[in-house]
Chains A and B, each alone.
Chain A
Amino acid sequence: MSPQKRVKNVKAQNRISQGSNSFQTTLSAWKVKQGPSNSKNISKHGQNNPVGDYEHADDQAEDALQMAVEYFEKGPVKTSQNKDKTLEKHLKTVENVAWKNGLASEEIDVLLNIALSGKFGNAVNTRILKCMIPATVISQDSVVKAVSWLCVDKCSGSTKVLFYRWLVAMFDFIDRKEQINLLYGFFFASLQDDALCPYVCHLLYLLTKKENGEIENGKLILFQGMQPHLQALLSLYKFFAPALISVSLPVRKKIYFKNSENLWKMALLAVKQRNQGPSPEPLKLMLGPANVRPLKRKWNSLSIIPVLNSSSYTKEYGKKEVSLSDCLNRSGSFPLEQLKSFPQLLQNIHCLELPSQMGSVLNNSLLLHYINCVRDEPVLLRFYYWLSQTLQEECIWYKVNNYEHGKEFTNFLDTIIRAECFLQEGFYSCEAFLYKSLPLWDGLCCRSQFLQLVSWIPFSSFSEVKPLLFDHLAQLFFTSTIYFKCSVLQSLKELLQNWLLWLSMDIHMKPVTNSPLETTLGGSMNSVSKLIHYVGWLSTTAMRLESNSTFLLHFILDFYEKVCDIYINYNLPLVVLFPPGIFYSALLSLDTSILNQLCFIMHRYRKNLTAAKKNELVQKTKSEFNFSSKTYQEFNHYLTSMVGCLWTSKPFGKGIYIDPEILEKTGVTEYKNSLNVIHHPSFLSYAVSFLMLQTLPREREGNREKGKKWSWYLDYLFSQGLQGLKLFIRSSVHHSSVPRAEGINYNNQY
């Protein structure tokens, strides 16, 4: 091996250890290095700060260190009189360099060898061990050699303890661990030593991997005990081989391991900084309180949602004889407990072990991703069963007068809803739960959660769902307060949105002609339109019951804001207009925002219908989903009456027709003007503030003047944020001497 290779940098170290050098070769390599020119070479390459002054000082330190190492290697000179002095001097040198820059792996190799071989006294060994701080990494071979010294039993117990502590602390800096893993059995045997046990436990904890074999069954029973370090190790074994060990951990979580690191705390930080690059992550396991059952509330569970555990049980059952090493050797599958990040999930998605209880995925967003994409029937079925049963068990209104766990149930529902929102998809179990529990629901407890569940019902045929769900909901709807009505409408709006999203996704994801959905698009559209009509019916009746409450009307119009944009926003061939009961209440409302919202909705309807019309004309081919002329007629009818009211001051002529005789009977003389933009009661406050602003004298004005003022007033209204009105007027009314409504032409052939 050429001396150039022994440069203090990580790559070189790795190369050396990969070559799996024996003790002899490294030592010989070390000896070659002793020339002064070589040492200079090293320092030049290895030093992190190439500033000249330091370089020189470092050169000196390097030389001193080499002398010290040499001295230790030769062993104490018995005849020398100033033995202690020299020893002290060299020790100091080593300590200084170690704490300042760390030692090269070769130096550590030699010194470790010396410390454990017992050439010097106990005190010296301790001091040497304490300063075994690597510059970057420690070679695996050094550790193996050191362990072999432990077998010879030349060093004292305290040195051994210190060595194990050092090993645990420096574990991350050992370059490779295959050889050390082979010593697993040796470490395991050391558990019997009481003094060593805690540290050996910690070491084993760090070492244990699935691949680790060599654990004999019978020996496990050795460490029956309540010491925390043993428990930690046991839980690790249980985690890897649940079919072999059964352990139930105590309630309180303790710190499992004594801190081995505090001797080297500062040095470790320094090494980490020197290494900079991400040091290999130690195996971290969650020994959280989740594994522990504090209270025996119910035997089914302590929390409703089960704890995440790999299903290693079931796999192992097939084998006749299962040994722990078999379990640990089991490779190829990725345990869930180690799943911490999304990239990990992607890398291991083909070999992921599923949890033993599928319900546990509810708390784990990564696994929810998995569930969402895997579409594996047993997985979904297990989840379905668990969720249905849990909902049924926990549902508080199933049990008379048992509202103790109300809070818990609410939290549970919240968790489910969070998962559904996360997946943007409803669960079948929840739908089944709604069917079963809605007839018994009082409309009060867990209201917001329950209604949110309604909004996540997966898309299905409306006529099938109606008798199971909406009929029961309607009963509650009509008999409850206005707030309940509003929240039901809100959740129905969300339901519509979810259905539309689902349908639009599904249509665009499967453009293939022979997909099952393609043939039933008409059916799906029909179902959606039935839902909209149903809500229309609910709203009309509710408006009557609540005597045209503005508050309620807001929620209703919110719903229709979704409805009017289906064609453009979701690219689905559906336009459903609102029922007259809603339209006229909104048109004649006393609230500005309602009228504004209505204008906006009409504007959007217009956009959608024109777009649809355009597409029909472009495509020419008679598509299945052309809208009937009735929709256009209906829209034009609404539009005429709206323009008649707001613009042309002919409110009851076209569109809504009221016999003039009846109108005269009301005694309102100026009924024709009283609903136009200027006189509409909902704009009253705007009109007042407009007049306050205007200082023009109120004189007789000509027609032109009037028109001018009219457009001023409109501009004023637009400037007040009535965007809906603006859009509506801009799109639907022609500014000309004779304003007229601009309907959409329809061909009667449809």
Chain B
Amino acid sequence: MDSYDVPESTPSASSRPEDYFVGATPLQKRLESIRKQTSFIPTPPRRKVPQCSQLQEDVDPQKVAFLLHKQWTLYSLTPLYKFSYSNLKEYSRLLNAFIVAEKQKGLAVEVGEDFNIKVIFSTLLGMKGTQRDPEAFLVQRLILSPRLECSGTILAYCNLCLLGSSDPSTLAFQVAGTTGACHHTRILSKSQLPSENREGKVLWTGWFCCIFGDSLLETVSEDFTCLPLFLANGAESNTAIIGTWFQKTFDCYFSPLTINAFNLSWMAAMWTACKVDHYVATTEFLWSVPCSPQSLDISYAIHPEDAKALWDSIHKTPGEVTQEEVDLFMDCLYSHFHRHFKIHLSATRLVRVSTSVASAHTDGKIKILCHKYLIGVLAYLTELAVFQIE
């Protein structure tokens, strides 16, 4: 086949490709960035190892603790149009009415009426990577017992979940024993809920955040609020209703954020690289072998200290993780496994990674365990979400 060469021909005028975008609109700039993204390797070859305490100082430790140890389903979200932090109360009224209307089709619902269902919006102060990142916020759907006054429930609730442990490190320690058990009881569905209970029960929680989302922020105007990462916990039907409301109101678009094997291995490497005082869980990998009639799962658990030792032997540049290091790390694991079981894991698909820092599933499920690295984990997820919406 001929090699294609551009003939030096016709118009003798100088051609400067950058001239095409003189006075380019943001839309064209976006397209530019997409072109760059598509033409080069999708992810930069090196990233920072998540640093310990990147949380801003004014962050509410109670709320952070509330976000940990829960399984979140990930979604990417396009910028919200005309979203305003000063109207959160109004939003909760409207969303509340919307949910009730969805539940009882055909009946009109007056906005602002009292129901036994309550939606609460609240900001997660300080949950950001840089000052430019917009504030994260939390949406909760509670079910209240009829006799209860609904105001102030959320605070009571938050206090409850801490169970007297204000020190995050001891919290992590406590969890080691009763992994998540006490936490799970808090997320009750309607059927499980004893109606005599006077507390408001959280049926569904979702939060929006943007950690180091600079690349996205640059390309949109001030009418938009960029919160590319959305995490939901609760029944899918609730996510659907609330998501629909957001889409209708702020003209945004939710799409499920899945994590491919490539990104999972990055997560594995980065999270192994984190220094954790108390390992609360073993480092575990799950591979899936698509074979009939039933698919086969291979679970591979490593003592976290061994994994860390392996990583340290590979790791060269301090504070950074490179693509070669990630590849080498995974290769070491593969060859070790092959030596013992004669199975080439590289031929299978990595489905889940769980470490003491966090665990992630390829379907877009994540559970963050370590308070210290919360921001680090979220920064990487934000990066993935931004990549998906661009």
Which residue numbers of A lie inside 8 Å of B, CB to CB? 217-218, 220-221, 223-226, 231, 234, 237-238, 243-250, 296, 299-300, 306, 309, 311, 313-314, 317-318, 322, 356-358, 377-378, 380-382, 384-386, 388-390, 392-393, 428, 431-432, 435-436, 460-461, 463-465, 467-468, 478, 516, 519-527, 529-530, 533-534, 537, 540-541, 573-576, 624-628, 630-631
Contacts and interface: CB of A to CB of B under 8 A. Distances in A.
Contacts of B254: 300
A178 B290 CA distance: 72
A478 B4 CA distance: 13
A627 B100 CA distance: 71
B221 A529 contact: no
Nearest to A384: B27
B9 A246 contact: no
B253 interface: yes
A400 B54 CA distance: 39
B231 to A, nearest CB: 16
A124 B81 CA distance: 62
Given A478-B1, A520-B22, 16 more contacts: A220-B108, A226-B107, A244-B110, A247-B107, A247-B109, A300-B247, A313-B94, A356-B248, A358-B251, A377-B27, A382-B81, A389-B389, A523-B14, A525-B13, A574-B10, A625-B12
A526 B1 CA distance: 25
B63 interface: no
Given A317-B87, A573-B11, A468 B108 contact: no
A687 to B, nearest CB: 37
Contacts of B23: 516
17 contacts: A221-B113, A246-B98, A247-B106, A247-B108, A318-B87, A356-B248, A381-B220, A385-B389, A428-B27, A428-B31, A432-B34, A436-B38, A465-B35, A516-B22, A520-B20, A526-B13, A625-B11
Contacts of A525: 10-11, 13
Given A389-B389, A533-B7, A249 B106 contact: yes
Given A246-B98, A246-B111, A299-B239, A522 B106 contact: no
Nearest to B83: A314
Contacts of B97: 245-246
B336 interface: no
Contact of B38 (A390, A435, A478): A435
A624 B251 contact: no
| Interface secondary structure of B, over-half rule | mixed
B221 A378 contact: yes
A525 B248 CA distance: 43
Contacts of B331: none
Nearest to A241: B111
Interface residues of B, number: 75
B124 to A, nearest CB: 21
Interface in B345-386: none
Nearest to B248: A356
Given A243-B94, A250-B105, A381-B26, A468 B38 contact: yes
A530 B35 contact: no
B251 A356 contact: yes
Which A-B residue pairs are the 8 nearest by beta carbons? A522-B13, A299-B240, A246-B101, A385-B78, A246-B97, A526-B15, A389-B253, A520-B19
A238 B106 CA distance: 12
A477 to B, nearest CB: 11
Interface string B271-295: 0000000000000000000000000
A381 B10 contact: no
Interface string B105-123: 1111111110000000000
B251 A527 contact: no
Contacts of A318: 84, 87
B187 to A, nearest CB: 20
Nearest to B86: A318
B82 interface: yes
A50 B324 CA distance: 101
Contact of B25 (A299, A300, A377, A523): A377
B327 interface: no
A431 B31 contact: yes
B277 to A, nearest CB: 41
Contacts of B30: 384, 428, 432
Q: Which of B9, B10, B30 has the most CB of A within 10 A?
A: B10
Contact of B90 (A217, A300, A317, A521): A317
Given A246-B109, A377-B221, A428-B30, A385 B2 contact: no
B102 A248 contact: yes
B253 A385 contact: yes
Interface in B16-59: 16-17, 19-20, 22-23, 25-28, 30-31, 34-35, 38-39
B34 A435 contact: yes
A382 B340 CA distance: 54
Contacts of A389: 78, 253, 255, 389
A238 B108 contact: yes
Given A388-B389, A431-B31, A381 B20 contact: no
Contact of A529 (B10, B224, B253): B10
Contacts of B248: 306, 309, 313, 356-357
A530 B100 CA distance: 59
A356 B11 contact: no
Nearest to A519: B19
A737 to B, nearest CB: 38
A522 B15 CA distance: 6
Q: Which of B23, B106, B251, B388 has the most CB of A within 10 A?
A: B251
A627 B247 CA distance: 54
B335 interface: no
B171 to A, nearest CB: 34
B305 interface: no
Contacts of B157: none
Q: Which of B15, B220, B221 has the most CB of A within 10 A?
A: B15
B12 A624 contact: yes
Contacts of B20: 460-461, 464, 520, 523-524
A393 B255 contact: yes
Contacts of B334: none
A378 B19 contact: no
Nearest to A315: B82
B149 interface: no
Nearest to B17: A461
Interface in B87-101: 87, 90-91, 94, 97-98, 100-101
A285 B249 CA distance: 22
Contacts of A238: 108
A559 to B, nearest CB: 17
Contacts of A527: 15
B11 A249 contact: no
B236 interface: yes
Contacts of B28: 428
Contacts of A317: 84, 87, 90-91
Q: Which of B1, B31, B102 has the most CB of A within 10 A?
A: B31
Given A386-B251, A389-B255, A468-B35, A381 B224 contact: yes
Nearest to B98: A246
A520 B15 CA distance: 7
Contacts of B104: 248
Contacts of B155: none
A98 to B, nearest CB: 40
Contacts of B90: 317, 322
Contacts of A313: 94, 248-249
Contacts of A521: 13
Q: Which of A226, A381, A392, A461 has the most CB of B within 10 A?
A: A381
A706 B11 CA distance: 46
Contacts of A529: 9-11
B244 interface: yes
Contacts of B9: 529, 533, 576, 628, 630-631
Contacts of A541: 1-2
